[in-house]
């Protein structure tokens, strides 16, 4: 494998950075594979539910698909919880950052904030404020996020629900993550 000539980035040449750009492009092409692998990792996460987080994710995506949601939305529903493994307290922000170059701002906002909105269904049982989501009441996407949690998150723990298999969603994941469409030029890839 070819490597750069420098040991400090300030000493890099145009050729060095062309090489790194090529490797970065190749790596970016494998993002769908890594996301699907992270989804698989949810098969063993968070005990206590009647279904795994993996099945929860398939239920979420299946319900969104069955309701006629577009591919960005369905893929976001499928992947919304993969951040639980590495960022359990900020998993929505984690996944929102991954989605940002590939999904429209509304979908990113929904995923980024779904954890706070989801607490509406359980926080009062453990001494929390179920209405903490109200701090986002002025957002144009408040209702969309509340709807996501109601229709595609809080109700997706049903062992009797028949989900579509991950293979059904895989082509959608590959299409959504084929190319960043929502970069303004200020974001780093």
47 pLDDT band (50/70/90 cuts)? Answer: confident
Q: Work out the average pLDDT over 13-39.
A: 96
186 pLDDT band (50/70/90 cuts)? Answer: low
Q: How far apart, in whole angstroms, are the C-alpha atoms of residue 159 and residue 106?
A: 30
Residue 53, classified by CB atoms within 10 Å of its CB into exposed (0-12), middle (13-18) or buried (19+), is buried
| pTM of structure | 0.93
What tokens were used for 37?
A: 């692998």
Percent share of the chain, pLDDT over 90? 92
Cα dihedral sign for 181, 184, 187, 189?
Answer: positive
Q: How far apart, in whole angstroms, are the C-alpha atoms of residue 148 and residue 98?
A: 18
183 pLDDT band (50/70/90 cuts)? Answer: confident
Output the CATH code of domain 13-176.
Answer: 1.10.3210.10
The predicted pLDDT at position 46 comes to 73
């Amino acid at each position: 494998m070819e490597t750069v000539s420098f040991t400090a980035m300030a000493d890099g040449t145009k050729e060095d950075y062309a090489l790194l750009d090529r490797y970065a492009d190749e790596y970016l092409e494998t993002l769908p594979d890594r996301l699907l692998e992270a989804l698989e990792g949810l098969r063993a996460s968070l005990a206590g539910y009647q279904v795994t987080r993996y099945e929860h994710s398939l239920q979420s995506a299946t319900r969104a698909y069955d309701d006629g949601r577009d591919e960005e939305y369905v893929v976001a529903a499928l992947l919304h919880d993969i951040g639980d493994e590495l960022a359990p307290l900020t998993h929505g922000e984690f996944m929102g950052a991954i989605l940002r170059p590939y999904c429209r701002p509304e979908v990113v906002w929904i995923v980024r904030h779904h954890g706070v909105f989801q607490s509406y269904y359980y926080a009062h049982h453990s001494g929390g404020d179920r209405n903490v989501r109200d701090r986002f009441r002025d957002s144009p996407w408040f209702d969309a996020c509340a709807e996501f949690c109601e229709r595609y998150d809080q109700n997706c723990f049903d062992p009797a629900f028949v989900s579509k298999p991950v293979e059904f969603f895989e082509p959608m994941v590959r299409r959504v993550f084929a190319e960043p469409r929502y970069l303004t030029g200020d974001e780093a890839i």
